[in-house]
Structure 1
Amino acid sequence: MSAASSEASIELTIVMPCLNEAETLETCIRKAFDFLNRHGVTGEVVIGDNGSTDGSQAIAHRLGARVVQVPTRGYGAALYGATLAARGRYVIMGDSDDSYDFSNLMPFLEKLREGYDLVMGNRFRGGIQPGAMPWKNRYIGNPVLTGIGRLLFRCPAGDFHCGLRGYSMAAFKRMDLRTTGMEFASEMVIKATLLGLRIAEVPTTLSPDGRSRPPHLRPWRDGWRHLRFMLLYSPRWLFLYPGLFLMLVGLGVGTWLLPGPQRLAGVVLDVHTLLYAALAVLIGFQCITFALLAKVFAINEGLLPEDPRLTRLFQYITLETGLIIGSLLVVGGLAGSIAAVVSWNEAAYGPLDASRTLRMVIPSVLCLMLGCETILASLFLSILGLRIRRMAPAITTTGLPEHEAA
């Protein structure tokens, strides 16, 4: 059988990240091959090695697994490199610390065969053995991060960060994953959801880590990295919604106070409150601008998929439109400033009624600032619109012919 026909017949590739996992790697590889043999699945095991120095590569080679040397350090980089070298139609990934059961992968493969693009494991439905997960991860970290992920992205997964999951190679290519660290797991679920891929979930078990040394995971640090990544991946929640709220509140309060002082619950609100209302409008506008810039940048970098709504919006919001609107705001601000100076001239440039004058100055200054920000944001947005083609980084693979590694 030729190499091409042999690769075409492989249905499943089981990939594992590895960094000095000599204690447990053999157990994981044996379980994976045992699963393939028992169920008659044509498959392979690929190890994404991050530079192990404890003999892990030799163990993998001895057991018949292929080893992909991934020079870029990180959980995501190791899995990405191993998946790139996969020959199977489907891929199932899992940690090589013997915490996941590679001998029971049939539920994942069955869902993949049914046409699902991403199959997530759910440890809370399958069972978490005593000592397998710290209490803060089990009762705080994972539920909170999963809830945030479901809220921000409407993702159907009930265990957002389960490390045992399967996906088709076609879906993997569509997701175009970019992160190299622990965020890789979050990015996969988020992109699959945003791309409208079919996602299923199956119960899986979690056992205690089989290694004698401490795990690579750092719960608080990694939890913050996942949360930060999800927020950065959702410009709407991070920037747009807070910005809209601030602008609406600021405009409402400012409009209410512009004619004169107002009494609320026995308290008189005057130009000092008007100033803070203008500040809320300004910060809100900046947040909305950041939402737009972050969205365009993320799409250009391949972190987010194309958004048809944004494409339609840019039919109307162009550089010229932004420059015109910004210029009008600047002109309005200058006009208000001139009116304030004229009012000062009428008082022979002497003392002024602050309550009256600031009702002209504050809106004028706000218009000047919003106008300048609109012009600058429009120019920067036009720069982001210039797409740059980037070449994917190469990886080296041991156990592969030279033309395949390339």
Structure 2
Amino acid sequence: MKTLDSVDETVAALELSIVMPCLNEAETLAVCIDKAQSYLEQSNVAGEIIIADNGSTDGSQQIARDHGARVVDVPDKGYGAALIGGIAAARGSYVIMGDADDSYDFSDLDPFMERLRDGDELVMGNRFLGGIEPGAMPPLHKYLGNPVLSTIGRLFFRSPIRDFHCGLRGFNRQSIAGLHLQTTGMEFASEMVVKASLEGRRVSEVPTTLKKDGRSRPPHLRSWRDGWRHLRFLLIFSPRWLFLFPGTVAFLVGILGTLFLSLGPLVIGDVGFDLSSQVYLAALTSVGYQGVLFAILTKIYAQHEGFRIPRSRNFDRLERRISLESSALAGLALFAIGLVVAIVQFCLWASAGFGALDAGVTVRTAIPAALLMILGAQTVMAGMFLGVLSVGLKRR
């Protein structure tokens, strides 16, 4: 598969390449190409139109050639794969990409070009600012999918973009090639915005309109499947929100509850908490601690492998201090404390002739001891995994 960072720089560059992904768009392709051609002519922009065909069987390729576009055949299936192939073949200094279903107006690209010429590296269209015609966007997408996913993206990655999934967007070709975009599905739209934001690229928005597409067939987009793929991508690229924040809350609630209940039953209002609650809180502590460890290890791995994910000075200081040895020592200390408590309990049981003990008192103490041993073992194993990452880096 051709990648964005494999662009042939020996080809003389035009100013603008207009790239449209295409899979059986015979009904609307011609009008999209004609609008793009009219823009290039009327604005005196030196440009080209590229149709990234993803295996059309309705004659879209010939239609594109008949209307003066260059066809790039992309055998790898998927929206992102088609765009990666089309962008890699582009010769323009700037690229404006948009769907070939006549839902976007390719004859009105001046707002994108103005921002690109001013130095913005990614210029997103915002359909909510420019206007959405009745019937152009399903209510599920308009009122739930796009607003929720865009809000999550803004929160996770501190991005200024309010319409993460607008299909019409422009960018500096070389700048975006440096992001090494690689997702092949619909989440390509999110990947571009996320990586551009994390890398500190100049990102902006311009209003654009969305009208009802001109196709008689259903769109390729599958709401729940593709929505989940977008959400999954956002979560994976933000270990703080996927692991760290939920894990920290779970750990704090669990450990505090476990320690309080080790002193005796706890009653809040009409609700009482005792041994069974302590067991579940200890389990919550372990799960939460594992989440925090996963967040740390995921972030270290991602940074070692060259992924750009949100980082902070506090995390940088933590990364410098943790190692296989320090993790092993901390883990062994936790394990040892729990083991000492267990040994003391065993000695008390032996002094009583191994007879019956007060179950409430014994279990109430045994749960925190066992929890410390579990947390210690988790810490040691996390340190070992960190050591594996370090060995891998030395081999490279």
TM-score (norm 1): 0.89
Q: Secondary structure at the match of 1:14?
A: strand
Distance 1:388 1:165 in 2: 41
CA contact (8 A) 1:278 1:363 kept: yes
The equivalent of 1:190 in structure 2 is 194
Aligned pair partner of 2:75 in 71, 79, 84 = 71
- 1:323 — aligned with what? 328
Alignment of 1:63-102 (within 5 A): 63-102=67-106
Kept in 1: contact 2:300–2:319 (CA 8 A): no
Deviation string, structure 1 residues 277-329 (Cα, Å, up to 9, x no partner): 22221111011112123333444555534846444432101111111112222
Equivalent in the alignment of 1:215: 219
Give the structure 2 partner of residue 148 of structure 1. Answer: 152
Which letter does structure 1 place at the counterpart of 2:372?
C
Letter in 1 for 2:231: L
SS at match of 1:7: coil
Q: Which moved more, 1:332-341 or 1:301-310?
A: 301-310
CA distance 1:225–1:283, change in 2 (3 Å): same
The answer on 1:347 being equivalent to 2:357 is no
Question: Which amino acid in 2 is paired with 1:348?
Answer: G
Q: Structure 1 residues 183 and 5 mapped into 2: Cα distance closer, same or farther (>3 Å)?
A: closer
**How do 1:225-374 and structure 2 match up within 5 A?**
225-265=229-269, 267-300=271-304, 303-305=307-309, 307=311, 309=313, 310-374=315-379
Q: Which amino acid aligns with 2:283?
A: L
Q: How many residues in Structure 1 have an aligned counterpart in Structure 2?
A: 387
Question: Which residue number corresponds to residue 41 of structure 1?
Answer: 45
Q: Which of 59, 73, 78 is the aligned partner of 2:63? A: 59
Contact map agreement 2:299 2:309 (CA 8 A) in 1: no
Query: How far apart are residue 238 of structure 1 and its match?
Result: 1.5
Q: Which amino acid aligns with 1:165?
A: R
AA aligned to 1:223 is G
Whole-Å separation in 1 of the counterparts to 2:304 and 2:25: 37
One-letter identity of the residue aligned with 1:349: F
**Which is worse superposed, 365-374 or 35-44?**
365-374
**CA distance in 2: counterparts of 1:389 and 1:349, whole angstroms:** 54
* Distance in 1, Cα, partners of 2:214 & 2:112: 23
**Residues 5 and 184 of structure 1, relative CA distance in 2, 3 Å threshold:** closer
1:79, 1:140 → 2: CA distance? 26
Structure 1: 5+ residue stretches without partners = 391-406
Distance 1:81 1:380 in 2: 37
Distance 1:382 1:90 in 2: 44
Q: Which deviates more from structure 2 when the two are superposed, residues 62-71 or residues 343-352?
A: 62-71
Following the alignment from structure 1 to structure 2, what is the Cα–Cα distance between the partners of residues 154 and 308? Answer: 13
Superposed displacement of residue 231, structure 1: 1.9
Out of 105, 110, 124, which is 1:106 matched to?
110
Task: Classify the secondary structure of the residue corresponding to 1:136.
Answer: helix
> 8 Å contact 1:153–1:194 — kept in the other structure?
yes
| Unmatched tracts of structure 2, length 5 or more | 1-7
- 89 and 211 in structure 1: CA distance in 2 versus 1, 3 angstrom threshold: same
Residue equivalent to 1:20: 24
CA contact (8 A) 2:80 2:184 kept: yes
The SS at the match of 2:216 is coil
Deviation at 1:119, TM superposition (A): 0.5
Aligned identity (percent) is 55
Is the Cα contact below 8 Å between 2:338 and 2:372 reproduced in 1?
A: yes
The offset of 1:170, in angstroms, is 2.8
> How far apart, CA to CA, are the structure 1 residues paired with 2:21 and 2:149?
23
Provide closer, same or farther for how the CA distance between residues 344 and 5 of structure 1 changes in structure 2, counting only shifts above 3 A.
Answer: closer
Task: Measure the CA separation in 1 of the matches of 2:130 and 2:395.
Answer: 43
